A and B are shown apart, each in its own frame.
Chain A
């Protein structure tokens, strides 16, 4: 699904989190929104997911105006920085949640739900943890469960907010590979937010460098390194 962002702006009272920004995201791409804190990258992600409403501008999914769609209608798989797993449910129940929350007519049978959950557990390479509770998992495992849970609803796109933020370096490297693998397997348009330029450059097909609510540059990692648009981009993406 390709995404178009047209003159999207967001104000929180007197504060301008996003100056009008425009962006075209090709279908199936793995995109990084890269920038320091306060650059507006998380705001942009949340607007895409329907968790915030823009002050002006439009969002288009496959050419049709999606600005007015509710969160539920968007089918955007969202992975939070803190993962936000449901503490009182097992891993299985967490992943199955989106499927069970559907209206009766659209809900798969329990058997089918079981099949899908197990397939996802295999995809994230944690086939045996279905009966455990989030409190019994490590940080890296929780991140993968959050990913599986988002994938279970067969989303149109995947949105991740600082997906590797809270983890140590070794785990981060493993999970980066995992995310790439999942993206390549599912072919989903995937957008992740990060302040870590190494991560963005290594993982993404396209990097969107942001600062203070504006998009400074969009391009392939190699291109951005070779031809930074301005000093900020050059300094921020220095290896």
Chain B
């Protein structure tokens, strides 16, 4: 029987134990510093003056209005993007038409555009010195430096999330089931609700989860378009910046802590979905 030492590997397709140990140790050390340290720092700084101070800061009117605004923006932007994502996935996966690849590239566009540039583009489109902007002012409609602008900016940056999760899954699932439903007399809507939707529900949930996390956390685009009007157009990330710049460290980190908790919940739900529905979601990994 061969002599297994630390230097020789016990299997042909793996590295020797020593090498493995070093690699695991090294990468975990880097992960601790690069990933976990920032996460822990958020909570450490938030609780620097104790729980009471932190909760007080969260109860302040500015913090509360920021939380409320973030929630409302997400409650509008995420469902809208979800509907869009479903429509896009339906059009792309159930039909054949020219320019599909180009359409997919367009949908992916927001991923490669800097959020600040996104905000800038929206300002140029709807701002006072554009033709559209002039019309808006005349009709007393505000988009830039107002709520609708924030929703649009949030929709821009989270645009592709749901579509990107649904498209590979629906491609993998094919059209046969829907076609079968039709032959059995179902209408298009019925086929969609009773056949398609149940098949994609986990991928949809997954996409909505990611979309929501990004929507609540968006900073750059909102910073540009919101005007940062205290108590009116300050979402949580904006409020964090304002608190931080005013040296209200506990307030800034407490608000950040809430968002960090949200991130942890998102990650947990995401992992749960991945483990329990790996077969469905595996399609998204391959694309």
Taking the complex as a whole, does A directly touch B, i.e. does some CB pair lie under 8 Å apart? Answer: yes
Query: Does the CB pair A68–B2 fall under 8 Å?
Result: yes
Check: B279 CB closer than 8 A to any chain A CB.
Answer: no
In the assembled complex, the CB of A111 is this many whole angstroms from the nearest CB of chain B, namely 31
Query: Does the CB pair B8–A70 fall under 8 Å?
Result: yes
Query: Which residues of B sit under 8 angstroms from A54, Cβ to Cβ?
Result: 1
Query: Which residues of A sit under 8 angstroms from B2, Cβ to Cβ?
Result: 53, 67-70
Check: B3 CB closer than 8 A to any chain A CB.
Answer: yes
Query: Does the CB pair A56–B12 fall under 8 Å?
Result: no
Query: Does the CB pair A56–B1 fall under 8 Å?
Result: yes
B12: contacting residue among A67, A69, A71, CB under 8 A = A71
Q: Which of B1-19 contact A (CB under 8 A)?
A: 1-3, 8, 12
The number of residues on chain B lying at the interface, defined by a beta carbon within 8 Å of a beta carbon of chain A, is 5
Check: A50 CB closer than 8 A to any chain B CB.
Answer: yes
Interface string of B189-212 (1 = CB under 8 A from A): 000000000000000000000000
Q: Which of A51-73 contact B (CB under 8 A)?
A: 51, 53-54, 56, 67-71
Query: Does the CB pair A67–B1 fall under 8 Å?
Result: yes
- Cα A71 to Cα B1 in complex, Å, equals 14
Query: Which residues of A sit under 8 angstroms from B1, Cβ to Cβ?
Result: 53-54, 56, 67-68
In the assembled complex, the CB of A229 is this many whole angstroms from the nearest CB of chain B, namely 31
In the assembled complex, the CB of A143 is this many whole angstroms from the nearest CB of chain B, namely 22
Closest B-chain residue to A54, C-beta based? B1
Q: Which of B32-73 contact A (CB under 8 A)?
A: none
Query: Which residues of B sit under 8 angstroms from A70, Cβ to Cβ?
Result: 2, 8
Query: Does the CB pair A50–B12 fall under 8 Å?
Result: yes
In the assembled complex, the CB of A233 is this many whole angstroms from the nearest CB of chain B, namely 32
Closest B-chain residue to A55, C-beta based? B1
Report which residue of A50, A53, A67, A69 has the largest number of chain B beta carbons within 10 angstroms of its beta carbon. A53
- Cα A45 to Cα B250 in complex, Å, equals 67
In the assembled complex, the CB of B235 is this many whole angstroms from the nearest CB of chain A, namely 48
Query: Which residues of B sit under 8 angstroms from A50, Cβ to Cβ?
Result: 12
Query: Which residues of A sit under 8 angstroms from B12, Cβ to Cβ?
Result: 50-51, 71
Interface string of A17-60 (1 = CB under 8 A from B): 00000000000000000000000000000000011011010000
Query: Which residues of A sit under 8 angstroms from B8, Cβ to Cβ?
Result: 70
- Cα A54 to Cα B8 in complex, Å, equals 17
Query: Which residues of A sit under 8 angstroms from B3, Cβ to Cβ?
Result: 68
In the assembled complex, the CB of A91 is this many whole angstroms from the nearest CB of chain B, namely 24
Query: Which residues of B sit under 8 angstroms from A71, Cβ to Cβ?
Result: 12
Interface residue ranges, A against B (CB under 8 Å): 50-51, 53-54, 56, 67-71
Given A56-B1, A67-B2, A68-B3, 12 additional A-B pairs, CB 8 A: A50-B12, A51-B12, A53-B1, A53-B2, A54-B1, A67-B1, A68-B1, A68-B2, A69-B2, A70-B2, A70-B8, A71-B12
